[in-house]
């Protein structure tokens, strides 16, 4: 994960400014539109800009913003290819679920414990795992996420499942007139928190230490960075934020089981989002999460604007969507290996010469 | 004690499949430094070729294995030469994601062609086997173990005794030095991946004899190939054979634990994996690299 920075030239700066303004406009609209579903707004005669479907998609997008940005702290900044962050999502979800459903805690108290549990688990496994590098760390973290999901589903005590077993865990429905609105803003707040923390990390001594580890771990250690402590802290921070998203998801979705809070494909999706957007940058993972999640929803036909794909019968559509996603993955990796943010913001990345240089650098 | 011997036999038979799946995966990982997430999908492609030839032309499944190998060799060569070679020097996450994308494409194309129905290959002799005391060893599983070991032996011979094999090892050891002595990198990389894919094809043919296959049936095998290769150690065919047989034994013994041993198959496999990685990262008899 080296050499991802480049200073933008003037054309690049103009593009960057245009995209920032566009992004801000879209963001303001996305954040304000749900308010039109309030009774007060409706009685004032405002048009309804957000329906149930919109809330669902927007909340999922915000959830992936949290996950991709949180992954960015360990994967993008520290350079450790964590492939098992979904474990922390699941642990956060189950912690919140157990506290709310079994111990009858209020939601917001449970939401403070969920990240702590995920972070504690990350610190625990991080000490041995973060001694591994490269593929070994990636595979080991992937293994942990598979194993944790299996243990949570199957753990029994006195032949009674501890965490609800294979039938999953039901949470009491959160009573509020504006449930959809509440969970949307909760997830957006988690996203803002994640971006805020990343912003702080990027400017702190801690963040410089992480980047030093990414660029050259031995050199960082020689310079006096306590590499073990830094890596474990970054892993735990990433886990805490992912766990927070999991906790919110648990109460929002009301029902959790191994399949919906430990899906292996989330591991891949959050990494892909961060990489497409630009790993190691502040807004890259955010842009990647929004763009890719919209695309995934569009391809699977969940968006209201979805058009029919040509030559594709309706029943084969989800499968074709997956093929397109795979092709996109391949094309992205081969042609834009530095992420889209860099693509738009750096030196003129639209040029053929850039593409050729990038391919020359990575190919044999 | 009879029970113990029974478990050992079952474990070694289960290990045969893991050897077949592991050798190709280990070769690609060791030489190209690529963890091929599409390996399981390629395995299942081999399974479907065997199934297709068996159901449509009534070919004996074991005779289809060379056909699996040839078709997947060609597919692997094209994938590496056309796509993966272009990002082989990028950070490891990119090849990870790239092979995951290929995995997604292969699985879903299989879904489009074969649907998600379970398919099984059942030749006339699939039910019969050797009886040793209370235990019946199916001929197919025994033959699968033999084929897997032959495959590993053939691969070891190719790598250590032929010019091509030595070129592959040279590229794996030092890319630039290999290029300096005149080895064609692009071709050798493509060849390595193609051989790995061919091994996956043979493994798939064997698997179709042992279990019913679906397009997604290969995913567990990708993960298990990781464990097998790490268990034995990277960089040697013999290490993968050891790792595969050992993994089969561990799996069978873990499942025989009374109570809930069987539901923790993945947890046990990965617990073991993490343990090996932390305590002995070079594997049991591998070379540290």
CB contact under 8 A, A144 and B98: no
Residues B65-76 have pLDDT tens digits of 999 999 999 999
Residues A186-243 have pLDDT tens digits of 999 999 999 999 999 999 999 999 999 998 999 999 999 999 999 999 999 999 999 9
- A103 CB-near residues (< 8 Å, 6+ apart): none
Alpha carbons B193 and B276: distance in angstroms, whole number: 26
Q: Looking at the domain assignment, is residue B265 inside a domain?
A: no
Measured between beta carbons, which residues in chain A are less than 8 angstroms from residue B90? 333, 337, 361-362
Best residue in A133, A143, A163, A336 to probe B by mutation, most B CBs within 10 Å? A143
Asked whether B230 and B277 are in contact (CB, 8 A), the reply is: yes
Residues A252-277 have pLDDT tens digits of 999 999 889 998 888 888 988 888 88
% pLDDT > 70, chain B: 96
Measured between beta carbons, which residues in chain B are less than 8 angstroms from residue A128? 274, 278
Tokens of B192: 């390595």
Nearest to A277 by CA among A293, A258, A260, A262: A293
DSSP, collapsed to helix, strand or coil, labels residue B130 as strand
Residues A108-124 have pLDDT tens digits of 999 999 999 999 999 99
Alpha carbons A169 and A176: distance in angstroms, whole number: 21
CB contact under 8 A, B93 and A146: no
Q: Looking at the domain assignment, is residue B277 inside a domain?
A: no
CB contact under 8 A, A140 and B89: no
Best residue in A76, A334, A335, A339 to probe B by mutation, most B CBs within 10 Å? A334
Q: Which residue of A has its CA nearest to B260?
A: A154
Q: Which residue of B has its CA nearest to A273?
A: B97
- Reply yes or no on whether the pLDDT at A132 is more than 50: yes
Q: Looking at the domain assignment, is residue B101 inside a domain?
A: yes
- A4 CB-near residues (< 8 Å, 6+ apart): A278, A279, A280, A338, A339, A342
- Of B30-34, B143-147, B162-166, least confident by mean pLDDT is B30-34
Q: Looking at the domain assignment, is residue B25 inside a domain?
A: yes
> Domain ranges in chain A?
10-362
Give the pLDDT of residue A131: 87
Alpha carbons A342 and A344: distance in angstroms, whole number: 5
Alpha carbons B251 and B272: distance in angstroms, whole number: 11
Which residues 294-333 in chain A show a CB within 8 A of chain B? 316, 319-320, 322-323, 325-330, 333
Q: Looking at the domain assignment, is residue B57 inside a domain?
A: yes
Alpha carbons A41 and B78: distance in angstroms, whole number: 59
Residue A346: pLDDT band (50, 70, 90) is: very low
Give the pLDDT of residue A349: 46
CB contact under 8 A, B111 and A131: no
Residues B194-221 have pLDDT tens digits of 999 999 999 999 999 999 999 988 888 9
Taking residues A88-114, what's their average pLDDT? 94
Measured between beta carbons, which residues in chain A are less than 8 angstroms from residue B269? 143
Best residue in A330, A356, A361 to probe B by mutation, most B CBs within 10 Å? A330
Residues A283-317 have pLDDT tens digits of 889 988 998 898 888 877 777 665 666 666 767 77
Measured distance between the N- and C-terminal CA atoms of chain B, rounded to whole angstroms:
41
Nearest to A65 by CA among A244, A273, A261, A249: A273
Residue A175: pLDDT band (50, 70, 90) is: confident
Q: Is the torsion defined by CA of B138, B140, B144, B147 positive or negative?
A: positive
Measured between beta carbons, which residues in chain A are less than 8 angstroms from residue B175? 364
Q: What does the mean pLDDT of chain B come to?
A: 88
Alpha carbons A29 and A37: distance in angstroms, whole number: 14
- Reply yes or no on whether the pLDDT at B33 is more than 80: yes
Tokens of B13: 């038979």
Residues B234-258 have pLDDT tens digits of 888 999 999 999 999 988 888 777 6
Counting the structural domains of chain B, the total is 1
- Reply yes or no on whether the pLDDT at A159 is more than 80: no
Q: What does the mean pLDDT of chain A come to?
A: 83
Give the pLDDT of residue A71: 96
- Reply yes or no on whether the pLDDT at B179 is more than 60: yes
Nearest to B29 by CA among B107, B96, B122: B96
In whole angstroms, how far apart are CA B168 and each of B66, B161, B178, B181? 22, 12, 9, 13
Residues B42-84 have pLDDT tens digits of 999 999 999 999 999 999 999 999 999 999 999 999 999 999 9
Query: According to CATH, what is the number of the domain A10-362?
Result: 1.10.3470
Alpha carbons B247 and A259: distance in angstroms, whole number: 26
B33 Cα distance to chain centroid: 16
Residue A9: pLDDT band (50, 70, 90) is: low
Q: Which residue of A has its CA nearest to B35?
A: A135
Q: Looking at the domain assignment, is residue B285 inside a domain?
A: no
Residue range of the domain that includes B172? 14-124+134-214
Taking residues B164-173, what's their average pLDDT? 92
- Bridge partners (DSSP) of residue A169 are A256
Strands (E), B37-182: 129-132, 135-138
Give the pLDDT of residue A3: 41
Taking residues A93-107, what's their average pLDDT? 93
Residue A24: pLDDT band (50, 70, 90) is: confident
Q: Looking at the domain assignment, is residue B261 inside a domain?
A: no
Burial A301-329 (b: 16+ CB within 10 A, else e): eebeeeeeeeeeeeebbebbbbbbbbebb
Give the CA radius of gyration of chain B: 19
Q: Looking at the domain assignment, is residue B270 inside a domain?
A: no
């Amino acid at each position: 994960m080296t050499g991802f920075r480049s200073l933008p030239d003037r054309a690049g700066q103009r593009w960057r400014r245009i995209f920032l303004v566009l992004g801000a406009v879209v963001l303001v609209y996305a954040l304000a539109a749900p308010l039109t579903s309030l009774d007060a707004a409706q009685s004032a005669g405002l048009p309804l800009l957000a329906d149930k479907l919109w809330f669902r998609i927007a909340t999922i997008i915000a959830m992936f913003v949290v996950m991709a940005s949180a992954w960015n702290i360990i994967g993008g900044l520290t350079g450790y290819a964590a492939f098992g962050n979904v474990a922390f999502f699941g642990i956060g979800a189950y912690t919140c679920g157990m506290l709310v459903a079994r111990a009858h805690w209020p939601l917001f108290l449970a939401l403070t414990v969920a990240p702590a549990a995920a972070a504690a688990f990350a610190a625990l496994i991080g000490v041995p795992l973060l001694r591994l590098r490269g593929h070994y760390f990636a595979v080991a973290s992937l293994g942990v996420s598979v194993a944790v999901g299996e243990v949570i589903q199957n753990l029994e005590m006195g032949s009674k499942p501890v965490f609800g077993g294979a039938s999953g865990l039901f949470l009491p429905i959160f009573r509020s007139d504006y449930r959809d609105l509440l969970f949307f803003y909760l997830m957006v707040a988690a996203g803002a928190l994640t971006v805020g923390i990343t912003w702080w990390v990027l400017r702190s001594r801690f963040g410089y230490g992480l980047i030093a580890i990414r660029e050259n771990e031995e050199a960082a250690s020689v310079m006096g960075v306590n590499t073990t402590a830094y890596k474990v802290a970054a892993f735990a921070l990433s886990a805490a934020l992912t766990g927070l998203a999991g906790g919110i998801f648990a109460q929002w979705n009301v029902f959790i089981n191994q399949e919906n809070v430990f899906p292996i494909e989330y591991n891949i999706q959050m990494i892909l989002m961060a990489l497409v957007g630009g790993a190691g940058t502040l807004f890259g993972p955010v842009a990647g999460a929004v763009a890719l999640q919209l695309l995934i929803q569009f391809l699977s036909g969940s968006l209201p604007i979805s058009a029919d794909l040509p030559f594709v019968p309706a029943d084969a559509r989800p499968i074709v969507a997956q093929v397109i996603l795979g092709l996109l993955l391949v094309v992205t990796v081969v042609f834009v290996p530095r992420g889209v943010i860099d693509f738009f913001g750096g030196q003129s990345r639209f040029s053929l010469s850039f593409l050729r240089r990038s391919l020359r650098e990575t190919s044999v | 004690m009879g029970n113990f011997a029974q478990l050992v036999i079952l474990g070694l038979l289960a290990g045969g499949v893991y050897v077949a799946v592991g050798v190709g995966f280990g070769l690609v990982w060791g030489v190209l430094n690529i963890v091929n997430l599409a390996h399981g999908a390629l395995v299942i492609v081999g399974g479907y070729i065997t199934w297709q030839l068996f159901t449509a032309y009534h070919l004996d499944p074991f005779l289809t294995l060379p056909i699996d190998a040839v078709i997947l060799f060609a597919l692997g060569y094209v994938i590496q030469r056309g796509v993966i070679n272009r990002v082989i020097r990028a950070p490891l996450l990119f090849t990870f994601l790239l092979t995951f994308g290929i995995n997604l494409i292969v699985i879903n194309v299989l879904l489009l062609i074969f649907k998600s129905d379970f398919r099984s290959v059942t030749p006339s002799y699939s039910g019969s086997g050797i009886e040793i005391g209370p235990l019946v060893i199916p001929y197919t599983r025994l033959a699968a173990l033999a084929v897997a070991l032959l495959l590993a032996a053939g691969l070891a011979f190719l790598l250590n005794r032929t010019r091509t094999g030595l070129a592959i090892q040279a590229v794996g050891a030092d890319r630039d030095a290999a290029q300096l002595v005149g080895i064609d990198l692009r071709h050798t990389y493509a060849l390595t991946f193609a051989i790995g894919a061919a091994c996956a094809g043979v493994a798939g043919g064997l698997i179709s004899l042992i279990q019913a296959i679906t397009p997604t049936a290969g995913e567990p095998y990708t993960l298990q190939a990781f464990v097998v290769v790490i268990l034995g150690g990277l960089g040697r065919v013999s290490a993968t054979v050891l790792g595969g047989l050992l993994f089969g034994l561990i799996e069978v013994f873990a499942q025989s634990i009374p109570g809930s041993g069987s539901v923790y198959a993945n947890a046990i496999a990965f617990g073991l994996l993490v343990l090996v990685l932390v305590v002995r990262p070079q594997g049991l008899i591998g070379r540290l690299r």
